[in-house]
Chains A and B, each alone.
Chain A
């Protein structure tokens, strides 16, 4: 570690301070501004504002739409996370076996994660199109009639969850696969000598060995799934009848469609707070020093 001694060191220091300052303003600025906006009443982004203090919060807290959106968000994120973790572990275990074409399969299994959300949403809508979609035809062929996928609250939620699972399972698989490589082979050998079967080995060696990593992955997934806007918006726009409207969509609708910028900023600020609890847990389990080693 050096201190800034020479003239060129000091020039570097100036550049560094400018860069860090710009980045922090870029990131903290909007977050603080959201909090400020939540204390005002404003119709649009350019109309005049009036200070209302905590009135927006008082209004949002008693709004059933807020609690419904929070509940919807929990249903959406928890079911999506559970499914993607289970499926991701299964994929990682498969990809950890030796078989011909494994390298290619690893690539194929990652593909969904690289696709832009808009591509996933559009392809899902094409597969499920009410009259032309492939899956609609299949459902019809096996006697389900012509399902109106996006008009039924349960099936709309199922679609949003499954599309998310499809997209983000590879993340869990890649992380789990990397963690699997760190489990010493000698442990498995010893267990095999003692007569442990594959299922026993998974639950008594693999899972305990990768548990810390798994916890971090689940936390990261929770942080990101809970506030996922684009996949839900592009598939259902929060419909039918708000059945898939979670907090980010509620914030968007208030700020952009219902001319209630203060209300939208309030919902956004409340989501920030919920998110910060998750982040505090994350930083508790993953201190910065450890991240150094991971990156």
Chain B
């Protein structure tokens, strides 16, 4: 690391960091600020720092009480919750057994998972809808949950496999010598030690499901079953663009992610560096 820096170098660094911060943060700033202004002010010439704020938060009020927002919020929450639970259970079992037992075709399984993780959602969504249409699961949140699991289970197996492999096997063996069964050795020894990996998988499963647009857009058509991203996009599609409400909705979708990120940024960065968000 460069410790002796010239004055010119310091100014250059400052300008570079400032530009980076503006580039990364300005659209987010503008989104939040626009959601807080009175809706009629959005029709006048914009100023960088708004002169008026809406004390009544009419944009939020309209969004929450005059649209299907709550229903869509519950849909999103329910889908993400089930997706997180299913992918955790499945990926823990798969990756644990693969890391501990002699499993034939091991690299084929892991390779298949990784291959699947690279698949683009639109290419999976078309055949999935065709299958769900046959099984009467079209326009049903179960279909969305299943579709999201095609992204989250391979991710979970990939991340957790690395975790379990790195954990010395003699820890559980010691516990089993002391009288634990394999299952209780797993819950008492392995699970607590691999908690960071499990938290990472839970976070990214939630993130993938919560932010997904493609699968929910293709698989669900009735208004009452839409998830938040699809619901928000359909406000945009209506004739009069209600920008205040749109910005309020965008801010509200982002908020849980920002809170999670500020509390758990260590896990986020760990997962990001492992390529956990496909995109």
State how many angstroms separate the Cβ of A108 from the closest Cβ of chain B. 5
A33 with B131, Cβ < 8 A, contacts A45-B138, A123-B250, A167-B279 known:
yes
Interface residue? A8 (CB, 8 A): yes
Collect the chain B residues with CB atoms within 8 Å of residue A111's CB: 24-25, 28, 258, 261
Structural contact, A108 and B25, CB atoms closer than 8 A: yes
Encoded as 1 (CB less than 8 Å from any A CB) or 0, chain B from 216 to 256 comes to 01100000000001101100100001010011001001100
A129–B218 alpha-carbon span in the complex (Å): 27
What is the size category of the interface that chain A forms with chain B? 35 or more
Contacts of A22 in B (CB 8 A): 90
Contacting A37 at CB < 8 Å: which of B107, B111, B127?
Answer: B127
Given contacts A12-B182, A227-B122, contact A122 B130 (CB under 8 A): no
Contact status of A251 and B122, CB under 8 A, knowing A30-B150, A261-B130: yes
Mostly, the A contact residues are: helix
CB-defined contacts of A171 to chain B, threshold 8 Å:
272, 275, 277, 279
B265 touches A116 (CB 8 A): no
In chain A, what residue has the closest Cβ to B182? A8
Query: Closest CB-CB distance, B167 to chain A, in whole Å?
Result: 12
Cβ contacts under 8 Å, A15 to chain B? 93
Least Cβ–Cβ distance between B45 and chain A, in angstroms: 6
User: A114, B207: Cβ atoms under 8 Å?
Assistant: yes
Q: How many residues of B contact A (CB 8 A)?
A: 101
Pairwise interchain contact A114-B161, C-beta atoms closer than 8 A: no
Contact check: which of B214, B232, B257, B273 meets A175 at CB < 8 Å? B273
Closest to B160 in A: A295
B contact set with A: CB distance below 8 Å:
1-3, 13-14, 16-17, 20-21, 23-25, 27-28, 30-31, 34, 42-43, 45-46, 90, 93-94, 97, 100-103, 107, 109-116, 118-124, 126-131, 133, 138, 146, 149-150, 153-154, 157-159, 161-163, 165, 181-183, 207, 210-211, 213-214, 217-218, 229-230, 232-233, 236, 241, 243, 246-247, 250, 253-254, 257-258, 261-262, 265, 268-269, 272-275, 277-279
List 24 contacting pairs A-B, 8 Å CB cutoff, sorted by A. A8-B182, A9-B182, A19-B93, A31-B127, A90-B20, A91-B20, A94-B13, A98-B3, A106-B269, A112-B24, A117-B211, A118-B230, A122-B247, A129-B241, A137-B46, A166-B27, A230-B214, A261-B130, A275-B119, A292-B162, A293-B162, A294-B162, A295-B158, A295-B162
List A residues at the B interface (Cβ < 8 Å): 1-4, 8-9, 12-13, 15-16, 19-20, 22-24, 26-31, 33-34, 37, 45-46, 90-91, 94, 96-99, 105-127, 129, 132, 134, 137, 166-168, 170-171, 174-175, 178, 185, 220, 223-224, 226-230, 234, 248, 251-252, 255-256, 261, 264-265, 268, 271-272, 275, 279, 282-283, 288, 291-295
